[in-house]
Amino acid sequence: MNESKHEPIIGLEIHMELKTNSKMFCGCRADWFGQEPNTLTCPVCLGLPGALPVPNKKAVEWCVMLGLALGCEIPLFSKFDRKNYFYPDLPKGYQISQYDQPLAVNGWLEIKSPTKTTGDEDTSDGGEATTSTPPRWRDRKRIRIRRVHMEEDTGKLLHAEVDGQKCTLIDFNRSGVPLVEIVTEPDIRSSEEARIFLKKLHQIIRYIGISDADMEKGSMRLEPNISVRELKSAQNTSEVTRLPAGRQGRGSSDGEGIKEDLPNYKVEVKNINSFNFAKKAIDYEISRHIKLLNNNEIPPQETRGWDEKKGITYSQRSKEEAHDYRYFPEPDIPPIRWTESQISQLKSQIPELPDQKVHRFMAEFSLSEYDATILADIQETAKYFENALSITPGVSLGLSRGSRITPKTIANWIINKRADITKTTPEELVKLISQKSQVVQMDEKELEAIIKKVLSANPKAVSDYKSGKEQSLMFLLGQVIRETKGKANAEQVKQKLVQLLKYPGV
């Protein structure tokens, strides 16, 4: 089988618009989506003669915060550069970007690996037992982040027909909107890993609150780099994943003393706007490369586009046609020099991130990893959960004294959508839960009577249970709940039922 002989090598470039009030280098509003064309423009973002860029402080800070959230180092010196190329949506003839000294470098993001390979276990550094760093799960894998940098978005071309003539119109509303670019090392080994990585990155971005990261509005755009490596033996599979995370300098995937054999070509697929398309495009490329490799051909290095209707990629630009961007330091913007205290100040503004939250929920509230992950998935849900907990008597102290509402109960209500949390306040939810649980509490005697009645009516199920058939318990439970007309709490019923099955005489 081909798959056993080939291993995909995937890196990702992600562009993401920040949701600052104003654009990157001027005072124009940045929320361009859906606005009338060319209404959010000024001399600066139109690139008029003589106009000068002044960087947006908030955008630069947010970019650094994202870098910190991704475990990056923040060099104390950074600068902007000009990336020179012609395109009608680029009014200055160059894009202000960052070249060799980006705001953040050498980070990592840990993902839950979809397939357990032998190598993945080695990604754990072992006994990390500090309180700030959560312990590493054994099925986790670190994807290294090469760099996070700041740049500006371009305008948008609209191919239209005006007065019966085909033409291209330019809308500069998007020109100069702050854009962050995140580049990973080629550590991803499957399209599913890529999808999981992207979802996790998306979640972190939403947590920090720096971007809507709305794929449909194009505020997050994906560019996978794909190549396929032929394996000599199956043991080689995860050589790259064993690299220590975040130890490499920019532009080099070769760790010191660690041999890494990357293919000598790569294919970049441009501007994909959904996680699923990214997955599909990667899969399409992988099988295309394998076919070529099996024919003893090396896939040409090139940039390809994604045709979402046909579900295929197509060649856009070969290596020979690649631009020489003639990067040089942007003379209109002085370099950025940070102090350590500025960086730590920005670090302190990063909210608790999803992984930290999951760990805390598990440790503090004895939730399962599954429950904690669902609650932490969306920041608002997690916040709602904690709000509800804080007003539940006893629970906030970690004691269930005097209350039968446990964190698990609240979590279940939210997870199983027993109440619509968009319409119910945490106070209302807690009241609802306690009403429900009080039904059982008050009618304990009645519940006991019902259970006894059900038990005597189902002697076979009782004896099945006693002979070890666990399913019988569920059958009996169902019967009791039906008799209580759904008023009883299933957990309570179950406890009482087990008790009465064990000690029927009580």
Partner 1 sequence: MLLDLTITQLSQGLKAKKFSSEDIVKECYSNIERLNPSINAFITIIDKDVALKEAHNRDKDRGSDSSVLHGLPYVMKDSYNTQGIRTTAASNVLADYVPPYSSTVYQKLVDAGAILIGKTNMDAWGHGASSENTDFGPVKNPWDQSRVAGGSSGGNAAALAARMTVFAIGEDTGGSIRNPSAWSSTTGLKVSYGRVSRYGCIAYVSSFDTMGPMAKTVEDCAHILEIIAGIDQYDATSSPQPVPHYKDHLRDKLTDLTLGLPKECFGEGLDTEIKASIMEAASLYKKIGINIKEISIPLLEYGVPVYYLIGTSETSSNLARYDGIRFGQGRGEFTKETMRRIMLGTYALSAGYYDAYYKKAQQGRTLFIKEYTRALSECDAILMPVEPMVATKFGELINNPIQNMLADIYTCQTPVGVPSLALPCGFTKENLPIGMQIIGNMFAETLLLRLGYAYQNNTDWHTKKPNIGEHGK
Minimum CB separation from partner 1 for residue 142, in Å?
A: 33
Minimum CB separation from partner 1 for residue 262, in Å?
A: 22
Binding status of residue 174 toward partner 1 by CB under 8 A:
no
Closest Cα partner for 381 from 433, 429, 436?
Answer: 429
Minimum CB separation from partner 1 for residue 171, in Å?
A: 13
Binding status of residue 363 toward partner 1 by CB under 8 A:
no
Query: Helix or strand or coil: residue 242?
Result: helix
Binding status of residue 415 toward partner 1 by CB under 8 A:
no
Binding status of residue 155 toward partner 1 by CB under 8 A:
no
- What is the chain's Cα-based Rg? 29
Binding status of residue 504 toward partner 1 by CB under 8 A:
no
Binding status of residue 8 toward partner 1 by CB under 8 A:
no
Is residue 153 within 8 Å of residue 179, measured between CB atoms? Answer: yes
Name which of residues 81 to 140 contact partner 1 (CB under 8 A).
82, 84, 86, 88, 91-94
Give the largest Cα separation in the chain, rounded: 94
Minimum CB separation from partner 1 for residue 100, in Å?
A: 11
**Region near partner 1 per CB under 8 A, out of 194-202, 262-270, 271-279, 322-330:** 322-330
474: tokens are 């569920």
Print the binding letters for residues 275-314 with partner 1: x by CB under 8 A, - otherwise.
Answer: ----------------------------------------
205: tokens are 């971005």
For partner 1, give the closer residue by CB, 54 or 298: 54
Minimum CB separation from partner 1 for residue 338, in Å?
A: 17
**What span, in angstroms and rounded, lies between the C-alpha atoms of 482 and 386?**
33
Sheet holding 94-97, edge to edge: 94-97, 81-84, 328-329
Binding status of residue 331 toward partner 1 by CB under 8 A:
yes
**What span, in angstroms and rounded, lies between the C-alpha atoms of 35 and 395?**
48
Residue with tokens 């394998």: 290
Name which of residues 32 to 71 contact partner 1 (CB under 8 A).
42-43, 47-55
Cite the DSSP H helix spans in 274-351: 275-294, 340-348
Interface with partner 1 (CB under 8 A), residue total 28
Is residue 215 within 8 Å of residue 275, measured between CB atoms? Answer: yes
Q: What length does the chain have?
A: 506
Print the binding letters for residues 455-474 with partner 1: x by CB under 8 A, - otherwise.
Answer: --------------------
Closest Cα partner for 390 from 424, 430, 438?
Answer: 430
For partner 1, give the closer residue by CB, 81 or 120: 81
**Region near partner 1 per CB under 8 A, out of 5-13, 103-111, 132-140, 320-328:** 320-328
Closest Cα partner for 273 from 334, 203, 234, 215?
Answer: 215
For partner 1, give the closer residue by CB, 173 or 191: 173
Angle at 424 between CA 419 and CA 430, to 5 degrees: 75
Minimum CB separation from partner 1 for residue 83, in Å?
A: 10
Binding status of residue 324 toward partner 1 by CB under 8 A:
yes
**Region near partner 1 per CB under 8 A, out of 80-88, 103-111, 114-122, 182-190:** 80-88
User: 10 Å Cβ neighbour count for 127?
Assistant: 8
Residue with tokens 């992207």: 198
Interface ranges with partner 1 (CB under 8 A): 42-43, 47-55, 82, 84, 86, 88, 91-94, 170, 324, 326-328, 331-334
